[in-house]
Amino acid sequence: MLKNRVIIARISAALTLIILAAVISYAQTYNPAPAGKTEKAAKPASQMSEYLVISPHTAEECLAALDDVSTLGKDVLAKYDWGCMSGDHTGYFKTQAASEAEALKAVPQSIRAKARAIKLAKFTPEQIAMAHKNH
C-alpha cells in the first residue's frame, strides 16, 4: 500500500513538472524575450522575476541536504517545502531573483548541481485568449 502511494506521488510530481514546463514553453513562444537583450548583473526590485527552485536529492542524500539547507539559516529553511515524506526527495521554494543563476544561489553548493530554477509567469484571461487566436 505504501509502495503504491510512493509511486503515485512520484507520478503526480512528474506530471506536475511536465505540465509546468509545457506552460512555460508555451508562454515563452508567445511572449519571447526581446532580441539582443542581455541580462544585467543586478536588476531593480521592480524587474525581479519569480522563480520556482527545484532541488532534488536521493534518499541517501536526504539528511545531508536538510542539514545543508538548515545551516543557511531558519529564514532560508522556512522558504523550502519538501516532498521527502512522500518519497519525492526534492526541496521546492519560490524566490524573487534577477536571474536563474541568482535564484540557484539559495541552494546549498552540495546539492546545487542537480537543482533547477524555473522562471514563473502569470497569465491574464486576455493573454490566454490571444494565445488561442495565434495557435
Q: How confident is the model at residue 1 (pLDDT cuts 50, 70, 90)?
A: low
For residue 113 the three cell numbers come to 548541481
Give tens-digit pLDDT for 71-83.
999 999 999 999 9
What pLDDT is stored for residue 5 in this prediction?
A: 59
Q: How many helices (H) does the chain have, and how many strands (E)?
A: 6, 4
Asked if residues 99 and 33 have their Cβ atoms less than 8 Å apart, the reply is no
Question: Quick one: which H or E segment has residue 63?
Answer: helix 62-70
Q: Residue 56, class by beta-carbon neighbours within 10 Å (0-12 exposed, 13-18 middle, 19+ buried)?
A: middle
Q: What is the mean pLDDT of residues 13-25?
A: 44
Strand 116-119, strand 49-56: pairing: antiparallel
Cα gap 57→8, rounded to integer Å? 19
For residue 17 the three cell numbers come to 513538472
Asked if residues 83 and 97 have their Cβ atoms less than 8 Å apart, the reply is no
Asked if residues 120 and 94 have their Cβ atoms less than 8 Å apart, the reply is yes
Burial 87-118 (b: 16+ CB within 10 A, else e): bbbbbbbebebbbeebbbebbbeebeeebbbb
Give tens-digit pLDDT for 37-79.
444 455 566 689 999 999 999 999 999 999 999 999 999 999 9
Asked if residues 106 and 8 have their Cβ atoms less than 8 Å apart, the reply is no
Give tens-digit pLDDT for 82-124.
999 999 999 999 999 999 999 999 899 999 999 999 999 999 9
